[in-house]
Copies of this chain bind each other. A is one copy, B any other.
């Protein structure tokens, strides 16, 4: 009954096996390992982007911050939703790597609205040299509310960005979960929807810790490499990152894992929907649910060993009938039994 985060589960055995297989003999370091050639080719194929620059980092914050640093000048501002990971969960890393600032754009269900984005971008740069200049737009897919932008929604946002000659970045920490949810291709959900660079996450979806940075304009490649090294994110024994990502891409393991996580989430959502005191705040589309339950039910679930975050209050202190929001995240390794056990406690 562990729903606290998709970064707390184990790595897939095939991923670990790939690391084990990589652990033999000498290999060129710093990304010159043979497996990285395979990874690069596989990512380009997956994204239908034969010229894309492809790099690995070990954390999602690094992926976002280095990409945004590469896409942003220090006198610019990055447009994002208020709940974006880059705003609330990266301890100023995007600002550190870019030297720039963030402009928060009104969002609904975790998604910036095109009108709010247009207003926010238009409002900048009306003061000449005095205000921050317009920088890139950063879109989170899956959103932090567990929703998924449709391709139309993505295109609407990147179209606004293009009106102002702004680039678009996708924080795809849960890219695979979104792909599975939409049933579309990586190309459709990225460059074909106007995205210029993607953090294609692996850590939350069954790897030990690897994200792929895909930059569709290869002219930015060398700057990315320098910023990655300057940030201390270039791995000497890079083969162990490559090995993970190669396993992830082989036979679409990413797809299987994301499908499993999403299916567990759907099973959980269905159970919650059928429960009279539960209220889903957003329509879950991937592997994350925000659900209101009375405080006493949270307490009962947590006491029974369920592990998840209660977002807006102490489950132990206060009116037992007051609704509190729980965040429930499922990962690839979640079993139906675990979900059912949780639902059974809920209903008991």
**Residue-wise interface mask of A (275-294) relative to B, using a CB-CB cutoff of 8 A (1 in contact, 0 not):** 00000000000000000000
**Residue-wise interface mask of A (22-54) relative to B, using a CB-CB cutoff of 8 A (1 in contact, 0 not):** 011111111000000000000000000000000
Cβ contacts under 8 Å, A247 to chain B: none
Cβ contacts under 8 Å, A209 to chain B: 58, 235-237, 240
Cβ contacts under 8 Å, A100 to chain B: 92, 95
Other-chain contact of A91, B20, B62, B75, B95 (Cβ < 8 Å): B75
Q: How many Å from the CB of A204 to the closest CB on chain B?
A: 8
Cβ contacts under 8 Å, A58 to chain B: 58, 209, 235
Check: A164 CB closer than 8 A to any chain B CB: no
Check: A89 CB closer than 8 A to any chain B CB: yes
The size class of the interface chain A forms with chain B is 35 or more
The reply to whether B132 and A92 form a contact with Cβ atoms under 8 Å apart is: yes
Q: How many Å from the CB of A260 to the closest CB on chain B?
A: 15
Other-chain contact of A88, B97, B104, B127 (Cβ < 8 Å): B127
Q: A29 with B5: in contact, given A129-B91, A235-B58, A236-B203 (CB under 8 Å)?
A: yes
A6 to B97, CA, bound (A): 30
Check: A107 CB closer than 8 A to any chain B CB: no
Q: Which of A28, A88, A92 has the most CB of B within 10 A?
A: A92
**Residue-wise interface mask of A (2-24) relative to B, using a CB-CB cutoff of 8 A (1 in contact, 0 not):** 10110111110100100110011
The reply to whether B26 and A2 form a contact with Cβ atoms under 8 Å apart is: yes
The reply to whether B7 and A237 form a contact with Cβ atoms under 8 Å apart is: yes
Check: A234 CB closer than 8 A to any chain B CB: yes
A177 to B130, CA, bound (A): 23
Can you list 27 A-B pairs with a CB-CB distance of less than 8 A? A5-B29, A7-B29, A8-B26, A8-B27, A9-B25, A9-B26, A10-B23, A13-B23, A16-B19, A57-B232, A59-B234, A62-B233, A66-B232, A74-B96, A89-B127, A90-B230, A92-B100, A93-B230, A93-B231, A96-B230, A96-B231, A99-B99, A129-B234, A130-B229, A203-B236, A209-B236, A209-B237
